[in-house]
Amino acid sequence: MKDNLDDFDKSQNTPTVRQRKAAYKAWKTIRKKKREIVGKDTLKIDPFLTVNRLASLVHPETEGRAPSETKNASYGRGIIGLFHKTPPDIGCGEFWEVRWAFGCPLDCSYCYLRGTNRGNMRPRFVKPDSVLKALDGVFGDPTFNYGKPAIFNTGELSDSLMKPELMRQIVDKFEEQKKHKVLLLTKMGPKSIGFLLEKPRRNTICAWSINAIDVAKRWEKAAPSPEERIRAASMVSSKGYEVRVRIDPMFPVPDWKQQYEDLVFRIISEFEPRRIILGTPRGLWKTIHYAEKSGTDMEWASFFAEDTGWGKKISTTTRLEMYRFMFDKLHSLGYPLDKVSICKETTALLSKLGIKFKPLTCQCYGQE
* CATH number of residue 234's parent domain: 3.80.30.30
Tell me the C-alpha distance between 192 and 185, whole Å: 12
Return the SS3 of 244.
strand
pLDDT at 33: 63
Return the SS3 of 191.
helix
For residue 194, pLDDT beyond 90: yes
Model confidence band, residue 20 (pLDDT cutoffs 50, 70, 90): low
pLDDT at 219: 98
Give tens-digit pLDDT for 32-46.
Answer: 666 555 444 444 444
Q: What is the DSSP string of 292-303?
A: HHHT---GGGGG
- State the Cα angle at 217 between 299 and 182, rounded to 5°: 100
Model confidence band, residue 5 (pLDDT cutoffs 50, 70, 90): very low
Q: Which DSSP helix (H) or strand (E) runs through 35?
A: helix 17-42
For residue 239, pLDDT beyond 60: yes
pLDDT at 4: 47
pLDDT at 87: 76
Tell me the C-alpha distance between 137 and 115, whole Å: 30
Count, in order, helices (H) and strands (E) of the chain.
Answer: 13, 14
**pTM of whole model > 0.85?**
no
Cα 203 from chain centroid (whole Å): 18
For residue 24, pLDDT beyond 70: no
Asked whether residue 367 is assigned to any structural domain, the reply reads no
140 with 180: CB under 8 angstroms? no
pLDDT at 255: 97
Give tens-digit pLDDT for 137-175.
Answer: 999 999 999 999 999 999 999 999 999 999 999 999 999
Beta strand residue intervals within 210-361, DSSP E: 242-247, 275-278, 306-308, 311-313, 340-342, 360-361
Residue 231, domain extent: 2-361
Closest CA to 134 of 93, 165, 88, 180: 180
The total domain count for the chain is 1
Region 62-91: what's the mean pLDDT? 68
Q: Which DSSP helix (H) or strand (E) runs through 311?
A: strand 311-313
Model confidence band, residue 70 (pLDDT cutoffs 50, 70, 90): very low
For residue 50, pLDDT beyond 80: no
Asked whether residue 368 is assigned to any structural domain, the reply reads no
Closest CA to 261 of 329, 207, 201, 349: 329
Region 274-290: what's the mean pLDDT? 95
Closest CA to 267 of 302, 303, 243, 242: 243
pLDDT at 65: 42
Asked whether residue 247 is assigned to any structural domain, the reply reads yes
Asked whether residue 263 is assigned to any structural domain, the reply reads yes
β partners of residue 74: 81
Could you count the other beta carbons within 10 Å of the beta carbon of residue 92? 25
Asked whether residue 114 is assigned to any structural domain, the reply reads yes
Look at 51-65, 178-192, 224-238, 275-289 and tell me which has the smallest mean pLDDT: 51-65
For residue 71, pLDDT beyond 50: no
